[in-house]
Amino acid sequence: MQHVLRAVVSSLLLAASASAHYGAKFEPPDGFIYHGCGWDGYSSQARYNEMFPADHHPLVLQVVASMPGPRWFDVGHIVQSLTQNIVHPDSQYIEYGLHFQGRDTWMLDSVFALTTTMDHYIDTLAIALQTVNRPFFLRIGFEFNGWWNPYHPYIFPLAFRKLVTELRARDVPEFATVWCYEPDAEADFADSTGQGWKWYPGDDIVDWFGLDPFDMEHFNPALPDTERGQLTPKGRSEAFLRFAAERQKPVYLNELSARNVFIVPDSLDPQGDSGRADWFYWFDPFFQFVANHPEIKGWNYINLDWTRYQTYETWGDARLEINTEIRTRWVDSLMSPRFLNAGYDIASPVLETPRGAVLTPALKVRPNPGRGVFRIEFAVARSGGVNLVVSDAAGREVARPFHGHLAAGQHAVFWDAAALPAGVYFVRVRLGGAVSGTHLLVVQ
């Protein structure tokens, strides 16, 4: 157990001292995370929204489609899917996930990449995206090398590149591309030969890396990265994140869901015992995993009862709203200012109030790591009411070192954290709607 604790503490030290900002398209400020919700024709997303106050609805909503797919792939259907009533026209954004898939489920990456047979579908998609005219995350191919998506090595990158290049040539409004991996697949994502990259489309084509963690074994920091000389699922996640850092790409958790947890409804869990056990089994390790990786800049939680789908019926029920203990903890965690919700301008590098008050992004805590009294330094561009908040790794507020009016300029606040247990914390300074933040590690 001691060696596990040492490994966790080592990870926390790195998380507290590290930052990750690569200047990618639509990338939020360092230390912030896009709060998003995953697929199901918006019905599960509507239930997910109801858990939150209106100003904390998810910033990103996910739509999944196939090109050409089992249904009609036409301009009208695409536009309709992106403009339903649940989508806030001015304050939410879409992550559009697109399979290369035929009507009989056969894969089309080779047909799409090596022939002109499917090129008219590029025009269809381009016209639809121009019609909707809003920023998009475009996740192409879902999980590129998963055995469940039988794409072709060395050809899939060509299909990915072709679609992006052609959409850019057709003047599609700004979109950020996502190249996505699921850690049950082979760890050959970084392989290359004389033919080129086996799966990677290239730095000039990929804006974000995507990771789809479902099982606790995909991310629990207490689990080993290798067993018997082979990468574990958690080790494959870590290796993919290292590859993202090497390529200097932020990471989006495109599909995130508590698979194999089997959340129990309140009627069967009146005391919340099962909900608490599930939280400590899946959710606590997840938040710690995110705290350890500042390069993770967004996620979409898929709020589904998977048993309703024949293909996924063994995955269990992952709906958060059915268990009060889990729902309350999840909502409280995402109320932290580090999560960016509906209303944030995804195309803007800083947060602004309607009056234009802006915080400079520089916020420092000294010493870091440390214990006892900390000096928190920040700059305010314009005078106004300032809140300085400290949250734990799960997003729960633990302290408010300052609350009051400050003039424009440089400021420092001294804060005694002697009563806090060791761990990773998040320090955020807010002026109106503007926020700046950083990590802090409290040690014994």
Main-chain phi, psi angles of 177, to 5 degrees: -85, 150
Position 19 scores a pLDDT of: 62
Q: How many Cα neighbours within 13 Å face the side chain of 143?
A: 23
Q: How far apart are CA 102 and CA 73, in angstroms?
A: 11
Q: Which of 68-72, 77-81, 127-131, 417-421 has the lowest mean pLDDT?
A: 68-72
Locate 80 and state its tokens.
């309709």
**C-alpha–C-alpha distance, residues 74 and 67, integer Å:** 10
């590690």: which residue's tokens? 441
Give the model's pLDDT for residue 291.
87
Across the range 73-93, mean pLDDT stands at 76
Q: Could you tell me if residue 5 is inside a domain?
A: no
Beta carbons within 10 angstroms of residue 179's beta carbon: 27
* CATH code, 329: 3.20.20.80
pLDDT, position 366: 86
User: What local confidence, expressed as pLDDT, does residue 103 receive?
Assistant: 58
Do 292 and 227 lie in a common domain? yes
Q: Which residue has the higher pLDDT, 407 or 236?
A: 236
Angle (nearest 5°) at CA 78 between 253 and 348 = 50
Token readout for 116 is: 């002109």
pLDDT > 80? residue 115: yes
The highest-confidence range among 51-55, 77-81, 226-230, by mean pLDDT, is: 226-230
For the ranges 112-116, 239-243, 340-344, 413-417, the lowest mean pLDDT is seen at 340-344
CA 196 to chain centre: 29
In a domain? residue 128: yes
Q: Which of 8-12, 150-154, 226-230 has the lowest mean pLDDT?
A: 8-12
Q: Say if residue 66 is in the same domain as residue 106.
A: yes
363 lies in the same domain as 328: no
Is 14 a residue whose pLDDT tops 60? no
* Mean pLDDT computed over 301-324: 94
Does a structural domain hold residue 273?
A: yes
Burial (CB count <10 Å: 0-12, 13-18, 19+), residue 348: exposed
Reply yes or no on whether the pLDDT at 434 is more than 90: no
Kindly report whether the peptide bond that precedes residue 354 is cis, defined as omega within 30 degrees of 0. Answer: no
Co-location of 44 and 171 in the same domain: yes
Q: What is the CATH number of the domain that holds 422?
A: 2.60.40.10
Q: How many CB atoms lie within 10 A of CB 45?
A: 26
Same domain, yes or no: 138 and 226? yes
| 349 falls within a domain | no
Count how many domains the chain has: 2
**One domain for residues 325 and 372:** no
Apex 287 CA angle, 284 and 288, nearest 5: 85
Highest mean pLDDT among 82-96, 198-212, 422-436: 198-212
> Which helix (H) or strand (E) segment is 284 a member of?
helix 284-292
**Please, is 153 exposed, middle or buried when counting C-beta atoms within 10 Å of its C-beta (0-12, 13-18, 19+)?**
middle
The 10s digit of each residue's pLDDT in 380-417 is 767 778 888 888 866 678 999 988 888 777 888 999 99
Same domain for 280 and 398, yes or no, is: no
197 and 255 together in one domain: yes
Q: What is the pLDDT of residue 347?
A: 54
336 and 368 assigned to the same domain: no
Residues 266 and 398 both lie in one domain: no
139 versus 54: which is more confidently predicted? 139
Residue 361 pLDDT > 70, yes or no?
no
376 pLDDT higher than 70: yes
The catalytic residue among 27, 95, 238, 255 is 255
Quick: pLDDT tens for 185-228.
999 999 999 989 999 999 999 999 999 999 999 999 999 999 99
Do the domain assignments include residue 350?
Answer: no
How far, in Å, are 355, 386, 402 from residue 358 at the CA level?
9, 11, 18
* Structural element, H or E, at residue 237: helix 233-247
Cis peptide before 221 (omega within 30 of 0): no
| pLDDT of 42 higher than 90 | no
Q: What separation in angstroms does the CA of 69 have from each of 20, 121, 193, 255?
A: 37, 11, 32, 20
Same domain? 290 vs 366: no
Task: Tell me if 3 is assigned to some domain.
Answer: no
Quote the pLDDT of residue 89.
59
Q: Which of 38, 250, 219, 291 is nearest to 142 (CA)?
A: 38
Q: Does residue 410 form part of some domain?
A: yes
- Categorize the per-residue pLDDT at 163 as very low, low, confident or very high, splitting at 50, 70 and 90: very high
Residue 364 belongs to domain spanning = 359-442
227 belongs to the catalytic site: no
Instruction: Give the pLDDT confidence score for residue 323 in this predicted structure.
Output: 96
Query: Using an 8 Å Cβ cutoff, are 427 and 419 in contact?
Result: no
Which residue, of 310, 340, 370, is where some domain finishes? 340
Name the domain boundary from 306, 340, 374. Answer: 340
What pLDDT is recorded for position 20?
74
Mean pLDDT for the chain?
84
Number of C-beta neighbours around residue 410 at 10 A? 10
Span 252-273, pLDDT tens digits: 999 999 999 999 999 999 999 9
| Residue 138, beta-bridge partner list | 96, 177
Residues 222 and 315 in one domain: yes
- DSSP calls for 399-443: EEEEEEEE-SEEEEEEEE-TTSPSEEEEEEEEETTEEEEEEEEE-
Catalytic annotation present for 143: yes
Q: What is the pLDDT of residue 16?
A: 38
Q: What is the pLDDT of residue 85?
A: 67
pLDDT on residue 6: 34
Confidence of residue 433 (pLDDT cuts 50, 70, 90): low
Given the DSSP bridges, would you call strands 423-431 and 434-442 parallel, antiparallel or unpaired?
A: antiparallel
pLDDT of residue 438: 73
pLDDT at 441: 81
Rounded Cα distance between 353 and 434, Å, is 6
Nearest to 225 by CA among 141, 273, 289: 289
pLDDT at 18: 47
User: What percentage of the chain carries pLDDT values higher than 70?
Assistant: 85
Burial 55-91 (b: 16+ CB within 10 A, else e): ebbbbbbbbbbbbbbeeebebeebeebbeeeebeeee
Q: Is 80 exceeded by the pLDDT of residue 362?
A: no
Residue 180 included in any domain: yes
| Among candidate residues 385, 380, 379, 378, the one with its CA nearest the CA of residue 415 | 378
Q: Which tokens sit at 424?
A: 């990773």
Per-residue pLDDT, averaged over 19-28, amounts to 83
| Active-site hit among 143, 238, 295, 325 | 143
Q: At what angle do helices 119-132 and 75-82 cross, to 10 degrees?
A: 40
| 347 neighbors 24 (Cβ within 8 angstroms) | no
Identify the pLDDT of residue 368.
Answer: 82
Pick 342 or 205 by higher pLDDT.
205
